[in-house]
Amino acid sequence: MAKPTRRVLRLLEQAMAVYDQQVGELPAHGNRKLTFRSMIATLIAAMFDPAVRSLRTIDDLSIHPSVSKISGVDRVTRSSLSDAMGQLSADALLPMIKALRDRQPARGRMAPELEQITRRLVAADGSYFNLAGEVVHAMRFRRGNGPDCQWRMRLNLQLDVSLFLPDHVDVSGGDDVSEPGALARSLQGSCVYLLDRGFVQFGLINAILAIHSSFVLRLKAVTGFTVEQSNALSEKDKAHHVLCDEVGYLPGPQSKGNQNARGCSAKPTNQKLRRIKVWDQQNKTEVVLLTDILDVPAYVIALLYRLRWQIELYLRWMKVLAGFDHLISQSKNGITIQFYVGVIMALLIHIESGHQRLSKYSLMWVSWIAQDRADPELMAQALARHEREKEKARLRREKKKQAK
């Protein structure tokens, strides 16, 4: 039987104290004794144990006396858990998530040059997760060139890159909108959205600008741009591999008979925009960025876009370390509950780590500490070694630049 550690139980008690304050008592599931609170307590306890990844093992964990004492039920059977996850609303967890976010320690920007950007930096992306079988809301993907198909769902994630924390999470299936459409329905004001090429859509750009947010968006090669002005590059721009800095506007599609963008979901904005080309030294390719931010140096825009990779790291952490390679529900509501519990887990381990700036390495170590597989002293030694190695690598790069 799985046995939760003292740290897991402490984190679970903290989580349920916030639950009681923010969510309160909700009806039980049907005519059974399983309440929403009992289900969430058991799922949080399971999230911290890498061996507990199925309904059957969660069932086993739920009868452990320490978990049972906190959850308030003797056992959470796999059939009741499966049914409850499909029927008890995931949105009930949102006040709890907000309260835990408000408790996060303050952290500064990742680079001093970004302090001039006072708005929140949010990276957005979608990631696909396989489903075990055919379900009504799944997306159907052909596997290779054969007749076999894979059924999937998409997690739409927005990540506050300064905190390395989820800002918004929802789930899409075959009956839902595209990635840009999913982002457009959950936009927030006073943010800078960091986006990849899959989000190049005039309707989304217009929606971001309409709520007085901004964007740094990687352009597709086929997206046109009419240049009105070219800005001179500073030495710092060149040091960050900026190739050009141009101001102009999006003309929209120019194919015959479609000059007014009648074939698009929306017309392009008439607001002045900025196109910046940056050389990606690692991949030996040119990266073309579009933004509405006109009043900062070009290299700052390049630094902003590099922060978008934080969401790739977070999604990898979810799939590899947090155990989301296996979804325990096939309903959209149940999958959303599982992802929300993952967000709660991330918030708890952020609080546990104090003011330590988090990365994929520190998330891994804090997860180990919560499982009693490591202690804070070992974590501090390992992270200090990582920092020394990064600093040595930076000095080597500077030395090569000076030699040239």
Q: What is the reported pLDDT for 91?
A: 92
The whole-angstrom separation of Cα 292 and Cα 216 is: 8
Q: Which residues contact 348 (CB under 8 A, 6 or more apart)?
A: 11, 14, 15, 44, 100, 370
Q: What is the reported pLDDT for 175?
A: 78
Q: Is residue 385 part of a domain?
A: no
Confidence class of residue 60 from pLDDT cuts 50, 70 and 90? very high
Q: Is the pLDDT of residue 29 over 70?
A: no
The whole-angstrom separation of Cα 317 and Cα 319 is: 6
Number of domains forming the structure of the chain: 2
DSSP code per residue over 95-106: HHHHHHHHTSPP
Q: What is the reported pLDDT for 375?
A: 73
Q: What is the reported pLDDT for 96?
A: 94
Residue 158: name the closest of 195, 204, 209 by CA.
195
Do 150 and 194 reside in the same domain of the chain? yes
Do 84 and 209 reside in the same domain of the chain? no
Q: Is residue 46 part of a domain?
A: yes
Q: Is the pLDDT of residue 56 over 50?
A: yes
Q: What is the reported pLDDT for 327?
A: 85
Do 170 and 269 reside in the same domain of the chain? yes
Q: Is residue 386 part of a domain?
A: no
Q: Which residue has the higher pLDDT, 370 or 308?
A: 308
Which of 63-72, 260-269, 320-329, 391-400 is the least confident region? 260-269
Q: Is residue 281 part of a domain?
A: yes
Rounded to two decimals, the pTM is 0.84
Do 288 and 200 reside in the same domain of the chain? yes
Contact 328, 52 (CB under 8 A): no
Parallel, antiparallel or unpaired: strands 214-218 and 191-195: parallel
Range of the domain at 343: 6-100+323-370
The whole-angstrom separation of Cα 70 and Cα 30 is: 21
Q: Which residues contact 95 (CB under 8 A, 6 or more apart)?
A: 22, 23
Q: Is residue 361 part of a domain?
A: yes
% of the chain at pLDDT higher than 90 = 44
Do 235 and 276 reside in the same domain of the chain? yes
- Mean pLDDT, all residues of the chain: 85
Do 70 and 213 reside in the same domain of the chain? no
Burial class (CB in 10 A: 0-12, 13-18, 19+), 159: buried
Residues 332-367: tens digit of each pLDDT:
899 999 999 988 988 887 777 664 555 667 767 766
% of the chain at pLDDT higher than 70 = 87
CA dihedral (286, 287, 291, 294) positive or negative:
negative
Q: Which residue has the higher pLDDT, 27 or 153?
A: 153
Q: Is residue 264 part of a domain?
A: yes
Q: Is the pLDDT of residue 263 over 50?
A: no
Three-state secondary-structure class, residue 178? coil
Q: What is the reported pLDDT for 358?
A: 56
Residue 321: name the closest of 371, 274, 285, 286 by CA.
371
Do 365 and 280 reside in the same domain of the chain? no
Do 190 and 337 reside in the same domain of the chain? no
Q: What is the reported pLDDT for 132?
A: 65
Q: Is residue 252 part of a domain?
A: yes
Q: What is the reported pLDDT for 189?
A: 93
Burial class (CB in 10 A: 0-12, 13-18, 19+), 341: buried
| Beta carbons within 10 angstroms of residue 31's beta carbon | 5
Do 245 and 365 reside in the same domain of the chain? no
Among residues 312, 331, 355, the one where a domain terminates is 312
Residues 188-212: tens digit of each pLDDT:
999 999 999 999 999 999 999 999 9
The whole-angstrom separation of Cα 135 and Cα 64 is: 33
Q: Is residue 398 part of a domain?
A: no
DSSP-assigned letter for residue 316: H
Q: Which amino acid is at 131?
A: L
Do 95 and 130 reside in the same domain of the chain? no
Q: What is the reported pLDDT for 363?
A: 67
Structure tokens at 44: 């949080």
Residues 82-136: tens digit of each pLDDT:
999 988 899 999 999 999 988 877 666 567 788 788 899 999 999 988 876 667 6
Confidence class of residue 69 from pLDDT cuts 50, 70 and 90? very high
Do 145 and 268 reside in the same domain of the chain? yes
Do 292 and 352 reside in the same domain of the chain? no
How far does Cα 402 stand from its chain's mean position? 37
